[in-house]
Amino acid sequence: MEQDSKITRAAWPIADEIHPPPAPQEFDLGPARSGAGLPVPIAKPRAASRWWLRIVVALALIAGGAGGGYYWWHHLQGQLPAGIALGNGRLEADEIDIDTKYAGRIAEIMADEGDLVKAGQVVARMDTQDLAASLKKSQAQVSEAQRAVDEANANVAQQNSLLLLAQQELDRAAALVQKGFQTKEVLDQRQQQLDGAIAALHAAQARVTEFEHALDAATHDVELYGVQIADNTLVAPRIGRIEYRIANIGEVLPAGGKVFAMLDTSDVYMDVYLPTEAAGKVKFGADARIVLDAYPTIAIPAKVSFIAAQAQFTPKTVETQSERDKLMFRIRVRIDPERLRTRAEAVRSGLPGVAYILTNADTAWPPALRGPVTP
C-alpha cells in the first residue's frame, strides 16, 4: 500500500502538466448571494469589447487612407517647381450613341466592338424595302405630273395660236366695217371670239401652274423617301472607336433604338481635382501635360479647357480656414484635336495618369515634362 501511494504521489505532477488546473475565477460575495454560502462567478462582456475594437480599427484605417492621400499630393507637389500644380485622373473621351432615326429592322452590320471608324463611315443599314417601294411610286407620280405639265404647256401654245387668229380676224372685220364691206354684227362676233380665246389661254396657263405644283409635290415626295432611305444607313458621326454593339442583325428597333456606342477619339481629356489654393491660380487655356501610368516617359501636351465654378466635396457650412482648405475644384485639361487626328489608334479611354498644369506662365517645364512627347 505504501508503494502504491508513492506511485500515485509521484504521478501527480505529470498529471498537473497534462491537465493544468482551471484559471481562477472572480466570485461575487455580495450580500445578495452570500447567504447561501456559495460564491457565484461573474461573467465578463467580451463580445462588446470586440465590437468596439473593430470600430476603432476601421476609423483608424479611414483616417490613415485620407492622411496618406493628403501626404501623397503634398509629397509629389513638393517635388515640382513653384508654378506647377498636379492632380491624378483618368483619360476620358466623349461617348456617342449611334441610333436609328426611324423604326425598322437591322439588315446589315459593318462594324464591331473595338473597330476604329472614320467620320461618315457606314456602320449599319436598316431594312428599307417599304421605303424603296414608296420611292418608286413617287418617281412614277413625278413622271405622270411631268407629262401633265408638258400637255398643259402644249395647250397654252394652242390657245396662243387661236388668240392670234381671233385678233387678226377682228382687225380685218374692223377694217371692212370702216369701208362698208362688212356689217357691225360680224365685227361683234369677231370680238367675242377674241375674248373667248383670251379666256381659254388664261385657263390653259392656270392648268400649267396646277400641274407644276403637282410635279413639285411628287418631286418632294421622292426627295423625302430618298432622305429616309439615307437616314436608315447609319454612319459614324466622328472619328472614333466602337465601344459597344448593342443590337444584332434581324432585330426590330423603335425610333431612336441604339445600335452602337462609340468613343470620340478627337475629343480626349482628363478631369483632375485641385485644392482651392492651386485652382485659384489656374487660367483658361493654360499649358498642361498629361503623363499616363502606362507611358511614364511620355508627356502629352494639353490645354486647360474647363474650370469648375463651384467646389466639389464642400461642407454645407464653411466657417473655418481648415474647412476652406478642403475645397476641391474640377479642372479639365484637353488634348489638342489636331494632335489626336493622326493618333486615333493610340487613344485608350480609362487609362490612369497625372495631369500637370502651369499656374504661372513664366514657369519652365522641367526636363521630364518637356519631352519626349507622343510619336
262 by Cβ neighbours in 10 Å (0-12 / 13-18 / 19+) ranks as: buried
Same domain, 196 and 291: no
CATH number assigned to the domain comprising residue 358:
2.40.30.170
Same domain, 222 and 274: no
Per the structure block, which three cell numbers stand in for 61? 484605417
Q: Give the residue with greater pLDDT, 345 vs 274.
A: 274
What confidence category does residue 250 fall into, taking pLDDT thresholds of 50, 70 and 90?
Answer: very high
Checking if the pLDDT of 14 tops 80, the result is: no
CATH number assigned to the domain comprising residue 196:
1.20.120
Whether 337 is covered by a domain: the verdict is: yes
The answer to whether 252 and 104 are in contact (CB under 8 A) is: yes
Same domain, 225 and 277: no
Alpha-carbon span 356 to 298, nearest angstrom? 13
> Looking at residues 177-198, what average pLDDT do you find?
82
Whether 67 is covered by a domain: the verdict is: no
Owner of C-alpha cell 418608286: 136
DSSP class per residue in 152-187: HHHHHHHHHHHHHHHHHHHHHHHHHHHHTSS-HHHH
Whether 24 is covered by a domain: the verdict is: no
Whether 253 is covered by a domain: the verdict is: no
Whether 165 is covered by a domain: the verdict is: yes
Whether 282 is covered by a domain: the verdict is: yes
Same domain, 290 and 343: yes
Q: Mark which of 182, 213, 231 sits at the end of a domain.
A: 231
Signed CA dihedral, 120, 125, 130, 132: sign only:
positive
> Looking at residues 320-339, what average pLDDT do you find?
74
For Cα atoms 226, 227, 228, give the angle at the middle one, nearest 5 degrees.
Answer: 90
Same domain, 134 and 226: yes
Same domain, 223 and 281: no
Whether 357 is covered by a domain: the verdict is: yes
Alpha-carbon span 345 to 115, nearest angstrom? 10
Checking if the pLDDT of 216 tops 90, the result is: yes
pLDDT given for residue 60 in this prediction:
55
> Looking at residues 230-238, what average pLDDT do you find?
93
Per-residue pLDDT of 188-211, as tens digits, reads 888 888 888 888 888 888 988 888
Beta bridge partners of 90: 352
Q: Which residue range(s) make up the domain with 146? A: 129-231
The answer to whether 204 and 155 are in contact (CB under 8 A) is: yes
Same domain, 226 and 133: yes
Per-chain mean pLDDT for the chain: 77
Whether 60 is covered by a domain: the verdict is: no
Q: Is 361 helix (H, G, I), strand (E, B) or coil?
A: coil
Same domain, 85 and 135: no
Closest-CA residue to 100 (of 207, 195, 235): 235
Checking if the pLDDT of 106 tops 90, the result is: yes
Same domain, 307 and 366: yes
The DSSP secondary-structure symbol of 44 reads: P
pLDDT given for residue 326 in this prediction:
66
Which helix or strand (DSSP H or E) is residue 277 part of? helix 276-279
Number of domains in the chain: 2
Q: Mark which of 231, 246, 274 sits at the end of a domain.
A: 231
